[in-house]
Each structure stands twice: as C-alpha cells, then as structure tokens.
Structure 1
Amino acid sequence: MMPDKNKIKLAYLYFVPKPHKPGTPLRPIGSGMSSPTIKISKMLDELIRPLFDKYVKQTTLIDGVHLVRQLEKYVNLGLLKATTHLCTFDITDLYTMLPQEESISILKQFRRHFNHTHVRGMTIDAIECLARIVLNENFFSYNNQYYRQIKGGAIGSPFTLTLANIFMWHWEQPLVEHQKKSNELYGRYIDDIFLTSNDSIQNLTKMLEDANAYHPNIKLTGSGISPIRLSPIGLSPLANVHCTFTNTFGGASPIGESPLYFRQYGLWNFVNWRKFTVFSPIQSVEFRQLAKVQ
C-alpha cells in the first residue's frame, strides 16, 4: 500500500452534468486514480464491500430488473391493491455530505453488529485508522489551487461508495422497520430509494418528512408518488401500471406521466429492450420489458 513517489499524482476535481435533473446540475468527481491513498481505498473496499453485500442484500436494489422481480413477489403475495402507491425519492449529494467521523463510527458499529471484529486478520481499530486516512487526507487541485475535502468523500474513490452504503444502512433502519411491519417493499440503490405503501398520501408524506429529519446532512428530494391502476381481466396486476409523479414535499402538481407496460410470464429469461422514463432506482435507465422465450 506504500505509494510510489514516482507514480503518484495529486487528485483533481472535474464536473459531469446530470441531464435528468432540473436545471442540469453538475456532479463533482474527484479523479484520484493515482493519488497517494488510492491503494488504501481499494483495499478497504475489497475488505468491507463483501460484508455489506452479504448482510444488507434484503434492502439493496441491484438494477431495474431486480426491482421488477421484487414487485413480482409483492404481487404474488397478494399485497398489490387499488390503494397501493409506488414512491421514489433521491438523497441529495450523498457522497459529499457524509460526515467523516460519524461515518467511521458507523462503520465500526456495522462490523460489531454483524460480529466481525476482524476481517482477514485486520482489527476494527486498524480499519478505522486506514478509513480515516482515506477520508481526511483527500487533497485535490482545482483551477490551479489546492484543497482538502473536510466533508464527505471523493466520488472517484472506491471506498467512498461502500462507506456511503454503510452509512445509509444505519440511517434507513427506521424506514426499513416501518416497511416490514406494514408488509411493504423497501429498496435502495445507493442514493435512490423505492418503496410501496397502502397508507394515505397524507400519512405517507408525513413518514417521508420524518425520514427527511433523521440526519441534518441527509435530505430527500424529488419524491414521486404514483397510484397503481389495476389491469383489465386476463392480465397480471403488473401488466398495465400507470405512474404519475408528484412532489410530495412541495405539494406541486404532477411533473410528468410515464405509462409502463409489463406482461408477466412463467419464464423471464429473455430481455426485450424498450426505453422508458420510469420510477426506477437508476435514473433515466432503459427499462426492460420481459417476455417469454418461445
């Protein structure tokens, strides 16, 4: 893990547009593939990410197809009703809003919670020390000036994603427990959250407002609630879903409609691509219409 002085380079900051967001804001990216701490970051990611994937898979969404399969289970259990709402919301600037010391503390809680005092022979204290180096010693250049990041982590650093996921594991526990007690879906893809509810719009909005107050650095935006219209006879409940997105916090009028068409078959192993703008946990994805292989 020792950096080679002849190969290391100072990280630099650049921006990429987010065209799916109003006003096309910019996402800050720290390019640190040759930074002094990149090897430590990669090692920590290799150590901790498998633990997160193992223990938090029940509430982690992988992609749009995974979401569809979760909805299929929801339907098969008879939980989809005329009153069911689909809701999706985004966590604002997750990577750059992570409180550094609190995130390291939650990393220790995560390992103790799942009884991992050592990972490949490395102690909790050693991992804490290395994680602090990755977060606190994050220097970069921008416009010929030099900076040190004092909140959050570099988006281009491998360990930042894993640490953000573990921080969100801790943050989302009240929501997860609420959804379990209500027999509703809850899933998260990094900073995008999807859930179902058969509660009233007022109670659902209150629940999300409460979640918005869990932590001062974690703010929920762009929430969409979509009523489900049950399908005609002969089609599955997911065969004809109509989504209407609304701003639950601001009470604004619908910002758009996207009809989604799913046909449910016994065998889902052929993917027919069709482009939609949908409530997927991955923004502006190509949603997949699944068809049976003949």
Structure 2
Amino acid sequence: MTHPSTLTSNLTPQEIEALEDLSHREDIVIKPADKGSAIVVMDKPQYVQECLRQLQNTDFYTKLAVPIFTDSIPRIQQTVQKLLEEGNLHKKQADYLIGEQIPRSRRFYILPKIHKPRDTWPTPNMPPGRLTVSDCGSESYRIAEFIDFYLNPLSTKHKSYIKDTYDFVEKIKKEQIPPQSFLFSLDVDSLYTNIETPLGLQAIRNIFNKHPDPSRPDEALLNLLELSLTCNDFEFHGEYYLQTKGTAMGKKFAPAYANIYMAQWEETAFSKCSRLPHHYYRYLDDIWGIWDHSQQEFETFLQILNTHHKSIKIKSVTNDQTIDFLDTTVFKGPNFPVTHHLDLKVFFKETDTHALLHYRSHHPRHTFRGIDYVGLVFAFATEGRVGRSLARSFGGVSASPNLNLAS
C-alpha cells in the first residue's frame, strides 16, 4: 500500500502557472548556461541562427538527406550477438544493449556561453553556444554505456589526472614550489570536436595494449566505438546532419575517450620538449602547472604543444603570483617565501549565480547528494562569516577539521 505524500509544493499557484506558460512559449528557448548555473532565455530565431552558424562549418558537419542511424542497428545487433556467443555477455546484458524500444534520432542543441566577453558574441544579443547532442534513446545510447564501462577506469591512469576540484586541492596542498617559478593554465580549444577519429581510435588501441585484460573484448569495443564516432548523425530544426570529426558532448564515453586521447597526446608531445613543467595537472581540457624555467623556454614549450597535432590548439594564461583554475584561485600567499606552499581560495566566474540546492527545497532526498560540498568547504574555510552562513543555509555543512585551506 502506498501512502500519499505529505509534502506540499514550495511554489505558489502563480509561480506554477508562470512556469507552465513559459514551457509552452514557442518564441523563446530556455537553456542552462554553459557555466555558472544561470538560466538563459533566448529569442528563438537568434538561437536557431547560432545553431545553424555552427552547423554550417563543413570541417565538422555535413547535411544529410535522410538519417542514417537506422543503418547502425543491424551492425550493433551483429556485434552484440557475437559478444554473447563468445561468452563476453550473458543474455540479459545482450538484451539490454540491443534494447526493445524503437530508437529515436539524436537531438542537437547548444548551451549559451554567457561567460564569454560580449564583444566576441556572434550577434549583439546572442552568445556563442557549446554544442551538445542528446544521445538519450538513440540506437547506440546503451552501447556508449558499454564502451564507457571499459574506458573510464583506463582514463585515470595517467600522471596528470585530476578527478575533481577536491582532488586538485589535495594534490596542491602537498607541493613545494620553486621560489622563482610562475603559474600557468592551459585550455584546449574545443577538445571533443577536434579529436581526429583515427588518432582517437589509435589512442584507445594503444591503452588496451598497455593494460591488457583477457576478459575485455578489445576488438568489439573498438568496432562499436568507431561506429559511434562515424555514424553520429542527429536532428536539428527538422533537418539531419552528420558529425564528421570528433565526438559531441552527450556521448557517455566522451570524457573517458577524450582523457585517454589527451594522455597519449601529452606523452608524445612531451617527448619533443627539452624543458617540462615542474608540476602539471589536467582535468580533461583544463591544465594547470608550475614553470620554473625562463619565459622564452615556456613559449617554446607552448609552440611545441600547438604544433604537435594540427587539430589541437592551446590557449595559455601565465602569472607570477596567482592563477584561476577550476573552482579555485591558486596564489602565492604572504607565507610563500618561507613555506614555498601555495594558498587557495574559492573562485567564481562573474556569471556564476551561486545557485545551490537549498536543503528545504521540494526535491527527493537523494537529489541532495549533488550539492557541491567542495564549494561549501571552500566557502567555509576561505570566506569567514559569509562561508559559515552559506554552510548553515545548506543543512549545516561545515569544513572538515582535517581540511585547512585558509591562508
């Protein structure tokens, strides 16, 4: 017997009515911002124009007369059947991967980059967008899960790996920094879409060879991965397109795939360098490091990285004292001349709305596991009274007694 919920909505009838009205508006598009947790309301014609601007880039996309995702279904079924016959899957797993529902086409959309300087926007009232393809319900959605199951553990095995902000903080706290060094951050331009598929597949094959596993169906995984990358068609505004280079955000395996590719890119690029960073950490396409050689030698290092693979381009920021990275500002504090340890404080982009889920909000309890505890700990440890007030607002979260980030 089920009992009716005693919870009541924390929205007023007027607010509910307004949300329903907005959801049925056809002249606007509402999306979350690419960064900062803001909600962006866009004029639909301008949103469509920005999407089409990106889709007209023939280096990455080509228009299709008809979708091709249905052609992938028998190829997937054949590979899954072979995995079943060879004992790599049991029947229930094979049925799950093939699926019973009729697949739908992938859907293209963009997340507005409102954090970009306004003078770089393609039109005055429309920011550039980060392309995303919704893979949910597609013919290869479950196959992408299967690929990620094997790639994800391998994607963490390189020396520069950072799991998240908390992991970065724990690493940096232990590092001693040469006094005359400077800090740098690097950003890979549009990493996902700039990974050339042959090079990406070779990186996966190489890591399979480096970490052999008799129970892992390497050839089947490579076949399914190639299928997912080369048959990544999608729908937008009633038209069909094929992504001809890289992989789009939305594929379950995309972060692990990009991480493995970048790990090989680093290894081969660094082999060309006579000087390397004193410290070097990477979170997907965001890189942080310490350089203890000359500025000219850093420029040479950067030039080697930018010419190593023609599709991978790096943007850099350097500073003698401070650098922003992920959710942190890393800096040489007043004690640095003595300790040679860096200090950290929380960093927010100008467009950040500081929107965290309130512990009294009308959500299922499991949802609260997604609260950014690291951000709250940063706030508590580095922002004094404001941080403590923020922590109390979100259910009494406080800093760990073993985590001292304050300078």
TM bracket (short chain): 0.7 to 0.9
The answer to whether 1:20 aligns with 2:20 is: no
> In structure 2, what is the Cα distance between the partners aligned to 1:292 and 1:214?
37
| Residues 88-99 of structure 1 mapped to structure 2, 5 A cutoff | 88-99=185-196
Equivalent position of 1:188 in the other structure: 282
| Residues 123-202 of structure 1 mapped to structure 2, 5 A cutoff | 124-174=218-268, 184-202=278-296
The answer to whether 1:225 aligns with 2:299 is: no
Equivalent position of 1:43 in the other structure: 146
Q: Which runs of 5+ in 2 are unaligned?
A: 1-96, 121-126, 322-331, 346-375, 384-398
1:266-292 CA distance string (max 9 Å, x none): xxxx924158xxxxxxxxxxxx99538
The answer to whether 1:110 aligns with 2:207 is: yes
Q: Secondary structure at the match of 2:163?
A: coil
TM-superposed CA distance for 1:20, in Å, is 3.1
Q: Which is greater in Rg?
A: 2
Moved more, 160-169 or 170-179: 170-179
Q: 1:138 to 1:233 in 2, by over 3 A?
A: closer
> In structure 2, what is the Cα distance between the partners aligned to 1:213 and 1:292?
38
Q: 1:103 to 1:292 in 2, by over 3 A?
A: closer
Amino acid at match of 1:10: S
Amino acid at match of 1:126: A
Equivalenced residue count is 245
Amino acid at match of 1:25: P
Q: Which runs of 5+ in 1 are unaligned?
A: 243-269, 276-287
TM-superposed CA distance for 1:48, in Å, is 1.6
TM superposition score normalised by structure 1: 0.73
Checking the alignment, whether the CA contact within 8 Å between 2:186 and 2:288 is kept in structure 1 is: yes
TM superposition score normalised by structure 2: 0.54
> Taking every aligned residue pair, what percent have the same amino acid on both sides?
23
Equivalent position of 1:63 in the other structure: 164
Checking the alignment, whether the CA contact within 8 Å between 1:212 and 1:220 is kept in structure 2 is: yes
Q: 1:92 to 1:234 in 2, by over 3 A?
A: closer
Amino acid at match of 2:404: A
> In structure 1, what is the Cα distance between the partners aligned to 2:286 and 2:336?
33
Moved more, 178-187 or 30-39: 178-187
Amino acid at match of 1:167: Y
What is the Cα-based RMSD across aligned positions, in Å?
3.2
Structure (1 or 2) with the greater helix fraction: 2
1:135-193 CA distance string (max 9 Å, x none): 11211011211011110112101112111111101101146568998671111100111
1:218-237 CA distance string (max 9 Å, x none): 1112x111113563489744
> In structure 2, what is the Cα distance between the partners aligned to 1:72 and 1:165?
24
The answer to whether 1:271 aligns with 2:372 is: no
Checking the alignment, whether the CA contact within 8 Å between 1:231 and 1:238 is kept in structure 2 is: no
Q: 1:107 to 1:233 in 2, by over 3 A?
A: closer
Q: 1:52 to 1:232 in 2, by over 3 A?
A: closer
> In structure 2, what is the Cα distance between the partners aligned to 1:51 and 1:65?
21
TM-superposed CA distance for 1:197, in Å, is 0.9
